[in-house]
Structure 1
Amino acid sequence: MKRRDLLKLSAAGLLAVPGMALADRIAELPRLRLELRREQRHWFAPSGDPVALWGANRDLLRLHQHQPIEIEVINLLPEPTTLHWHGMRVDNAMDGVSGLTQAPIPPGERFLYRLTPQDAGTFWAHAHHRTYEQLAHGLYLPLIVEEAEPYAADREQLLVLDDWRLGRDGQLDTGSLGNLHEWAHGGRMGNILTVNRQHRPRLGARAGERVRLRLLNAANARIMVLQLPEWPIWILAKDGQPLATPREHKGPLVLSPAERYDLVLDIPEDAEGGHSLYHLAHDRPLETALLQVSGSAGTAARPAPAPLPANPLASLPARAPDHHLQLDMTGGAMGSLRQAVYRGQMLGIDALVQQRQIWAFNGVAGLPEQPLLRARPGELVEIELHNDTRWPHGMHLHGHHFLAESGLYPSGLWHDTLLMARGDRVPIRFVAGNEGRWLLHCHMIEHQVSGMVSWIDIRA
């Protein structure tokens, strides 16, 4: 019996054992204990001193597609929090959005998330309560949902890209959190880049290997422009959703905060030695990691890589949408925002700034009481995003993947997070999925907290 068939039977058995009560079946689900806590680790400090961060009792979550699991989250932090399962199509009550889908978990308390991963791919879990602060503290962890059969590669390498702001004492500069000037511009930028919470780590590989490379941008606001060695590279998946045919890629790869890519990287036979990976900053390239390639793996020339198995994602029907609307993004420094509705009241720009609201969606700042859209499961939705600001934005829709017509990306990619340049008009299309209230916001997190957030309501 193949592993995928065993997993399906196991999952079905949890739902259909004769004479077993629902409570008993739930109690038999595999459970994972996840502690959120403060700790000091020698993760990345250039001085060699440990840096105090917020994290969990593990650095990576690995789940299995279609296998139900319970994740008991225990909050050992000094303030309330939640966990959002970014990119995963979960029940709405499990989406982890403070104030929308659940109450925050108080310090010392716990919350049981019940998940059944629908899609295999590269995802992540991160705080969704005071996110601009907790994400800057490092409260996230990468999450891999494994395919039923391992992908044919010699090596798998996960690269979690991040930037951090350290003070003169070598610790996180928490005093600068909440800087309104940064919120009105590009968001919080750090002064040190890391890969897997390490400063310029050395990564091992062998010449001739085929590497599956999983990339995640976990920064609060920094757009990562990653320059890989100029070897054969293909895009396997974007935001956890496989391409039908892997697409060859050349040049830098741009990742908005929260975006992920799965790549295939073929290391040439004559590549022994050190090869730097760079972030292409505005003024100069910054080395983020060094790939140390040792002697040959003895592999002959390879054919183009095979695609990943498709996930059970609904295809888009070729017809007019059931719902069409435009989302105008306004505000920020040098923007045209003069007034907006905030908590039911129309406020001028000076009053908005007093409330720390600097951005708006369709003239509304902050999370509105009424949804941007009401739809039924299975309906086709089109939202035309218009970035009428001077700044780029990474737009994220919870619980869904969508197709987009954007010049910044190749055609045919599914997204849960989309980078938009200033002035862009980008229509996105998706099929309304699970019932519930799903957040739509900018994942330059400082933009979200200062106005760029809304939600859609899906009900049968």
Structure 2
Amino acid sequence: MVTCYLFGDKDNHFYLKLLFMISRRNFLKHTSLFASGAAGSAVAVSAINLSAKTQSDQYHYHLTVKAAKANIVGGHITDILSYNGHVFAPIIRAKQGVPVRIDVTNELDEPTTVHWHGLRIPVNMDGVPGTGQVPIAPGDTFTYYFTPPDAGTMWYHTHENSVDQMGRGLVGLMLVDEAEPLKNAENEVVEFDHDIPVMLKNWHLNKDGSYYKISMKRYAARQGTPGLIYTANGQTDFEYDVKAGQTVRLRMVNTSNTQMYRLNVDKPELFKHHPLKIDVLDANPLDYDLAFKDFALGAGMRIDILFVVPDSAGQTLTFLDQHKPMFKLNILANESEKRASSLPVIPKNPVIVGDLDKAEKIEIVLEWAAADDKNGDPLFWNLNTQQGFAPASCKTPNQIADFKLGNSYLVDIRNNTQYPHPIHFHGHTFKVLSYANKDIQPYLADTVMLEKNEAAQILIYADNPGMWMFHCHVIEHMAMGLVGLVKVS
């Protein structure tokens, strides 16, 4: 086995600690599954929340990519691909401005990588084959080493054979804590009573736990192959207990291959004095009110909702995809006289927006196509493919733009198709300025949702050198043509 250590040496490796920062009721409810390990079932949200630091104040983790078994569909065992053997992968916690080291060992029989979605890190740590990293061969270990410049809700996933590997489970959450303690509007240091990350994933499983085809051509040429089984944190019935008057940071991450969620809550009337709103989008705090109602959470996107639990003991808040229940928060009585007086305020990340007046204008067009690659595999989508050039594919993307380091770019993205596309840009955070057919307040993001026949303008400041992927995060669309490379130099 060849082991690559980019930092330190293997003798400096240390043991991780499990932090069980959950209520006794939630702990007892879920840890029996964790202890058995037989089916690799999901556990309470914090039970596999790994956090450890070296004496030099560097976060250090080990992930093992391997086949496992999980009880996803009631009583039936499903073969999955996993990080550390769990259908709900370890939650990696890091800290803004503090180095993190993650040793990834591949025990699969095929290569893999890990992409750190939403993190503005060096391209050789981005986990994309061919643009900075050789895939991790079976039996090998690769060490990712980087310093997160931004805080917030991130996630990680494979970028090798992505349709199959992600579809079978190679996705996980990464939460980067703010550099300084959180404060409220009165500048007082406060903490959330509950920090609840929820990993939403749509599985291509039958009711007996067996897979059907993760990608079918007739669906890949449309919105993407739909999954039948919906999970939150690896469970079809995930729920979490909170108490009236407590403060909550609810983080939702769409890790599905294709699914776009239209998010709602079933009892909005419980929040009549302070309606639920989205406070953070793609790890970037919003400076305006965005109602949490029928929100389109495309693949790859993340939102944080900050709220005080309503004084409605005995009620259950069910979060929905349109009318389909996704997960629940149970409101318990709070005997304490202490009630939240104010919520923590999430500080903004150090993102340089760019200069609109000096920005160079470019255009990127998403189109439907009908072509084959050199292997005869279908390519149903085009992203800025010019006449005379072969359509792009995930393995051999075309370069679609050449950015100069330190310059600003006004990018007009047009979706000339009948299907939605969440467009993600690696290594950068951009500002969504406007849509052609609707009014918005500008906001920062790393993924922009384009509904059918929709156009948007984004402002990018090219401050991270490398060859970066620019792609639709509907994974089948990416694999079949909606992908390109942007060079920043």
TM-score relative to the length of structure 1: 0.84
Distance 1:409 1:445 in 2: 28
Q: CA deviation at 1:178?
A: 3.6
1:216 to 253, 257, 265: 253
Is residue 2:198 matched to residue 1:159?
yes
Q: CA deviation at 1:412?
A: 2.8
Maintained 8 Å contact 1:356/1:450: yes
1:91 to 122, 138, 150: 122
What amino acid is the match of 1:398? H
Distance 1:50 1:194 in 2: 15
What is aligned with 2:167? 136
Alignment map for 1:11-410 (pairs within 5 Å): 30-42=59-71, 44-46=72-74, 48-57=75-84, 58-151=89-182, 152-167=191-206, 169-173=208-212, 176-228=213-265, 229-230=267-268, 231=271, 232-243=275-286, 245=287, 247=289, 249-280=291-322, 285-296=323-334, 298-300=337-339, 302-303=341-342, 305-321=343-359, 323-331=360-368, 337=369, 349=371, 354-363=376-385, 365-367=391-393, 371-404=399-432, 405-406=434-435, 410=440
Q: CA deviation at 1:366?
A: 1.5
Q: CA deviation at 1:317?
A: 2.1
Maintained 8 Å contact 1:246/1:306: no
Distance 1:74 1:178 in 2: 27
Partner SS state of residue 133, structure 2 = coil
Runs of 5+ unmatched residues, structure 1? 1-21, 332-336, 339-348
Maintained 8 Å contact 2:7/2:145: no
Distance 2:144 2:375 in 1: 36
Maintained 8 Å contact 1:387/1:422: yes
Partner SS state of residue 50, structure 1 = strand
Runs of 5+ unmatched residues, structure 2? 1-5, 13-55, 183-190
Q: CA deviation at 1:91?
A: 0.5
Partner SS state of residue 188, structure 1 = coil
Distance 1:369 1:451 in 2: 8
Q: CA deviation at 1:351?
A: 7.6
Kindly tell me: are residues 409 and 252 of structure 1, through their superposed partners in 2, closer, same or farther at Cα, counting changes over 3 Å? farther
Q: CA deviation at 1:69?
A: 2.0
Kindly tell me: are residues 30 and 146 of structure 1, through their superposed partners in 2, closer, same or farther at Cα, counting changes over 3 Å? closer
Q: What is the number of equivalent residue pairs in this alignment?
A: 412
Distance 2:259 2:340 in 1: 37
What amino acid is the match of 1:319? D
Q: CA deviation at 1:275?
A: 2.5
What is aligned with 1:4? none
Q: CA deviation at 1:409?
A: 8.1
Partner SS state of residue 293, structure 2 = coil
Deviation digits for residues 293-338 of structure 1, max 9, x if unmatched? 11035455745x45312211113324131x321111111xxxxx46
Percentage identity across paired residues of the two chains: 28
Kindly tell me: are residues 384 and 92 of structure 1, through their superposed partners in 2, closer, same or farther at Cα, counting changes over 3 Å? same
Kindly tell me: are residues 217 and 196 of structure 1, through their superposed partners in 2, closer, same or farther at Cα, counting changes over 3 Å? same
Kindly tell me: are residues 408 and 198 of structure 1, through their superposed partners in 2, closer, same or farther at Cα, counting changes over 3 Å? farther
Q: CA deviation at 1:135?
A: 0.7
Q: CA deviation at 1:372?
A: 1.3
What is aligned with 2:31? none
What amino acid is the match of 1:169? D
What amino acid is the match of 2:283? G
Distance 2:9 2:109 in 1: 34
Distance 2:203 2:377 in 1: 27
Q: CA deviation at 1:375?
A: 1.7
Maintained 8 Å contact 2:405/2:465: yes
Distance 1:441 1:276 in 2: 32
What amino acid is the match of 2:63? L
Maintained 8 Å contact 2:59/2:101: yes
2:463 to 420, 429, 433: 433
Maintained 8 Å contact 1:32/1:70: yes
Maintained 8 Å contact 2:372/2:379: no
What is aligned with 2:22? none
Q: CA deviation at 1:363?
A: 2.7
Kindly tell me: are residues 397 and 271 of structure 1, through their superposed partners in 2, closer, same or farther at Cα, counting changes over 3 Å? same
Q: CA deviation at 1:361?
A: 1.3
Distance 2:8 2:358 in 1: 46
What amino acid is the match of 2:208? D
Partner SS state of residue 132, structure 1 = helix
Kindly tell me: are residues 30 and 433 of structure 1, through their superposed partners in 2, closer, same or farther at Cα, counting changes over 3 Å? same
Partner SS state of residue 477, structure 2 = helix
Distance 1:394 1:248 in 2: 19
What amino acid is the match of 1:156? D
Maintained 8 Å contact 1:399/1:433: no
Distance 1:350 1:135 in 2: 23
What amino acid is the match of 1:441? H
Q: CA deviation at 1:159?
A: 1.1
What amino acid is the match of 1:275? L
Kindly tell me: are residues 353 and 411 of structure 1, through their superposed partners in 2, closer, same or farther at Cα, counting changes over 3 Å? farther
Kindly tell me: are residues 377 and 422 of structure 1, through their superposed partners in 2, closer, same or farther at Cα, counting changes over 3 Å? same
Q: What is the Cα-based RMSD across aligned positions, in Å? A: 2.4
Distance 1:67 1:369 in 2: 33
Partner SS state of residue 412, structure 2 = strand
